[in-house]
Amino acid sequence: MKINSLTRKELYDHVWSKPISTLSKEFDLSDLELRKICKEYQIPLPFQGHWSKLKHSKPVKIIPLNEDYKGSDMIQYVPKVKSTKELVKKFKPVQTDVPLKLTNPLPEILEAEAKLKEYKFSNWNRMTQSSEVMSIKVSNFKLLNRALRIMDVFLKSIIKRAFTYEVIYGSLRIEKYNIIETINCRKLNNRKFFKDKYGWNSSSLTPNGLLSINIEGYRSKQWKDGKVKLEEQIDKIVLQLEDYFLKHKLQEIEINRYWREVERLEKERLARQKVIQNDIDEFKKLRMHARRYHECQMIRDYINAASKYHDENWIEWANDAAVLCAVFLISPRSHL
């Protein structure tokens, strides 16, 4: 499975060149998924009846692509192909070629073998422990040899599926679709419950000779020996890992898409808020100017009424003051 990419302009050209029903089959998407992508990236779609009008040589309206779009210009989508989950359900275990001895092992396996075989098992130390090489936790050398062979074939299998991996401080980290998970191989235990010498309920773990491959962390997952040995499950494990990584990549894409939409809506809200605030500021200026105009009118009315009680010097001074008041009211500086 892969994630396809194309630009907004490329998708725009596609949706105006052929019907959505035809295009969705070429893209391996449903009509609804393709329309959803077009809506998110503000790509206009032809009106209903568009293709019928073209067929009968009637005029149609073509909506141009919005060039003011502020989001990402690159579109990513996952084709709707047969999921690995369905493949896993139909998968019939076969004997994976896990040799009885290490054959052309990977460098990481050789390093783990050299380091872990230096370990001395005892009643107090029943499990290999090392932070210098790949994490393989077992309780005896027989399990260690088996775990090394299984992990060698497992790593070679995921490489064929375009996974990458590295060992960092004993942790095996595998990556695909920019998703990284930590994998380990370890023994399984049986828990035995009993009462200690003081009568308290207690328990102990005893290795049972079985192995498991695990995804660590809060999204943990485990494959273990059962009716089918791990050697026979490697192909199935790799298929399930493919599905696991793809599912989380799709979740990541949806989360990014959600936050892009949140960001777009927030920008629109701030733009509307700015327009509203500008209107409020302009209204406050208008009200202030109206009050000043009313004051100028009152001053002129007062001068007319009081002119018979004052001399010409006062009347001239008052008229000049009224003119200055009017000039300030209509001056561009008064709008600052």
Instruction: Give, for all 336 residues of the chain, the pLDDT tens digit.
Output: 467 788 998 999 999 999 988 898 888 888 888 888 888 888 899 988 888 888 888 888 889 988 888 778 888 877 765 555 555 555 444 445 778 788 888 998 888 888 888 887 765 566 677 777 888 888 888 888 899 999 999 999 999 888 999 988 888 999 998 889 999 888 888 888 877 777 888 877 777 889 999 998 877 889 998 888 888 888 888 988 988 888 888 888 888 888 888 888 899 899 999 999 999 999 998 888 888 888 888 888 888 888 888 888 888 898 888 887 776 655 544 443
The pLDDT value recorded for residue 93 is: 45
User: 204 phi and psi, to 5 degrees?
Assistant: -145, 155
Could you give phi then psi for residue 174, rounded to 5 degrees?
A: -110, 150
Q: State how far the alpha carbon of 69 is from the alpha carbons of 26, 39, 45, 48, in Å.
A: 26, 12, 16, 24
Whether the Cβ atoms of residue 257 and residue 40 lie closer than 8 Å to each other: yes
Strand partners, 74: 7
Please tell me the predicted confidence (pLDDT) of residue 82.
52
pLDDT score, position 283: 93
Is 329 within 8 Å of 290 (Cβ atoms)? no
CA distances from 96 to 151, 234, 273 (A): 12, 7, 64
pLDDT value of residue 293: 84
Instruction: Take residue 104 and report the two structure tokens written for it.
Output: 């052309």
Contact 185, 210 (CB under 8 A): no
Question: Up-side HSE of residue 116: CA atoms within 13 Å toward CB?
Answer: 29
CA–CA gap between residue 131 and residue 117 (Å, rounded): 14
How, if at all, do strands 201-215 and 179-195 pair? antiparallel
pLDDT score for 138: 86
> Buried (b) or exposed (e) across 264-299, using 16+ Cβ within 10 A?
eeeeeeeeeeeeeeeeeeeeeeeeeeeebeeebeeb
